[in-house]
Amino acid sequence: MLAVAAYLVHRLVAAVGWRDLVDRLRDASPAWLLAAAGCVLLHLWLWGYRWKVAIRRVDARPRRRVIYAALAAAASVNLVAPFARVLGGLLRARYLARSGSHSLAAFYGVVLFDQIAHLVVMTALTGAAVVCGLWLLGRDLASMALGLVLAATLAAFFFWEERLTAHGPQWIADWLESRSRRHRGLRRSAFARGHETLRMLAGLLADRGLRFEAAGLGIALFLASALAQGAVFAALGEHPGALVVAVTVALGTAAGTLAGTPGGLGATEAAMIALYVALDVDRLDAAAAALAYRGVYYAVVFATGVPSAAILEWRLGKTVAATDFPRPEAGDEKR
């Protein structure tokens, strides 16, 4: 899939020429690119704050710097690793388990809550983006029909929200607990860990106030991404319109998620370039804006995530060493 996406990006850019693309990027305003980087930082901060809000519901011990550093480290892993969401999620839970009062399995339930909140918001925004995109393309009837379907789907979701969120995971958690009592050894441990994770997830999903707060923060962090893309267009001296930018960022992100490549690499860029061209943005400007936006995003995530991962791993190593080799008591030294 990554090779196919890379080929599509190459074909889309080759239509305007790589040399022209490089020249276009050289003319970009450094000040606006710096503003785009600031918007990406805001996006990451809002993401971390949403996660922190969920963590504080269950454990006050993890310090703020650990929470944000763990998220930054996991975000950098998400951009390079296969099965990125699983690996990044486990990494987040691992760092929290070392600084909090719950196990890795329990904190993974907090990670799952954050991922579910992100998925629900981005699914709704993607649907809204398709509706708006059809309207921008002049497909008014299709846009209206899809808008009605989306509204009905959201209404049904909110009506069944309690049963779809807290009740489902809680039922599975109870089933895993009953299974853990019937087994011994490794199987019992696996069922018990699964019960811990889903019990934590069910408890967070049962908090209606937390759900709505997470949804609001999810919309805010998407808007921060759209602002970053808008700042990149401003750096190129272009202004395609806020709705065009928001629609393309939403659908490009969705394409990258569905493609399954690390961080949506290749698929997101190809989808964004194609969408901008379809929405009457000049092909050269579309390619330059999409690739510059993704380049800024990668640069900010790696610049914050790699040092965070190094510091957390170093501190984790010190904690493990102190646990494995405890200092002797004063009386023991004399003996």
Any idea where the domains of the chain sit in the sequence?
2-9+50-292+302-321
Cβ distance 301 to 81 under 8 Å? no
Q: Which of 95, 93, 120 is nearest to 104 (CA)?
A: 93
The model's pTM is 0.84
pLDDT at 169: 65
Average pLDDT over residues 89-106: 85
Average pLDDT over residues 218-242: 95
Above 70 in pLDDT, residue 243?
A: yes
Comparing 168-172, 195-199, 281-285, the range with the smallest average pLDDT is 168-172
Average pLDDT over residues 61-65: 87
Average pLDDT over residues 293-320: 84
pLDDT band (50, 70, 90) for residue 333 = very low
Average pLDDT over residues 221-239: 95
Average pLDDT over residues 223-235: 96
Q: How far is CA 208 from CA 108, 212, 232, 258, in A?
A: 20, 6, 37, 29
pLDDT band (50, 70, 90) for residue 235 = very high
Above 50 in pLDDT, residue 326?
A: no
Above 50 in pLDDT, residue 155?
A: yes
pLDDT tens, position by position, 13-37: 777 778 888 889 898 999 999 999 9
Question: Mean pLDDT in the chain?
Answer: 83
pLDDT tens, position by position, 101-144: 888 888 998 998 999 899 989 999 999 999 999 999 889 899 99
pLDDT band (50, 70, 90) for residue 247 = very high
Q: Which of 81, 24, 6 is nearest to 270 (CA)?
A: 6
pLDDT at 325: 40
Output the 3-class SS for 37-102.
Answer: HHHHHHHHHHHHHHHHHHHHHHCCCCCHHHHHHHHHHHHHHHCCCCCHHHHHHHHHHHHHHHHCCC
pLDDT band (50, 70, 90) for residue 335 = very low
Count the neighbouring beta carbons within 10 Å of the beta carbon of residue 62.
22
Residue 4 to residue 10: CA distance in whole angstroms? 10
pLDDT at 7: 67
